[in-house]
């Protein structure tokens, strides 16, 4: 009996961390987001953000019963509509294990979305955790909640413009993060900057 229970726990924990991939293209069709505008920061000194309103999906594809997600400029974004037609947006990845938020139940009274994997509710206004952290499945959720500390998720600004849903993003964030780690194919041995010799 103990072996059966152990085997079930191993299978359940393995399926919880199984890579689901981020596959919004399978749900959203062949639409590719397009950059709409970029703020020029030529007069500023120091590091700057290249914020831009980026097209995500055609506005008709997002309804009160249909969410859409996309990976734009290295950022996973999930958008949907309230029953009054207003838009909401949130990170498409939960903060516990990075699994998808797509399909999460939206509670309009509390302005929250429930993570379908772990049951954590996130505020659609500020992204903070509302209520209990990792409340399901009963045993595995408690274990994940004990391993990973409670943390909120990112909430982007979203708008509807010219028939598209647009998201305000720092389009250079991924490149800025990776530039200190990656200099090209020769970087593996430090040959790109002469540090190897």
pLDDT, tens digit (0-9, with 9 covering 90-100), for 144-188: 989 999 999 999 999 999 999 999 988 777 777 766 666 655 555
Cβ–Cβ < 8 Å for 73, 173: yes
Q: 35: exposed, middle or buried (C-beta count within 10 Å: 0-12, 13-18, 19+)?
A: middle
Cβ–Cβ < 8 Å for 179, 71: no
The string of pLDDT tens digits covering residues 130-141 is 999 999 888 998
Given this model, what pLDDT does residue 157 score?
A: 93
> In the 8-state DSSP scheme, what is residue 62?
-
- Extract the residue ranges of the chain whose pLDDT is less than 70: 1-49, 178-197
Given this model, what pLDDT does residue 82 score?
A: 94
């Amino acid at each position: 009996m103990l072996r059966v229970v152990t085997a079930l726990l191993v299978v359940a924990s393995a399926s919880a961390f199984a890579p689901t991939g981020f596959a919004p293209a399978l749900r959203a069709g062949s639409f590719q987001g397009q950059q709409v505008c970029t703020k020029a920061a030529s007069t500023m000194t120091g590091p700057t953000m290249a914020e831009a309103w980026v097209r995500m999906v055609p506005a008709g594809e997002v309804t009160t019963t249909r969410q859409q997600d996309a990976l734009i400029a290295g950022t996973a974004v999930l958008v949907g509509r309230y029953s009054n037609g207003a838009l909401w947006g949130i990170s498409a990845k939960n903060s516990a294990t990075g699994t998808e938020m797509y399909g999460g139940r939206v509670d309009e009274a509390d302005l929250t979305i429930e993570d379908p994997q772990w049951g954590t509710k996130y505020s659609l206004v500020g992204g903070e955790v509302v209520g209990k952290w990792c409340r399901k499945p009963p045993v595995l959720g408690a274990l994940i909640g004990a391993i990973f500390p409670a943390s909120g998720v990112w909430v982007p600004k979203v708008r509807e413009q010219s028939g598209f849903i647009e998201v305000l993003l720092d389009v250079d964030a991924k490149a800025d993060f990776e530039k200190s780690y990656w200099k090209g194919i020769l970087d593996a041995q430090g040959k790109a900057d002469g540090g190897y010799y």
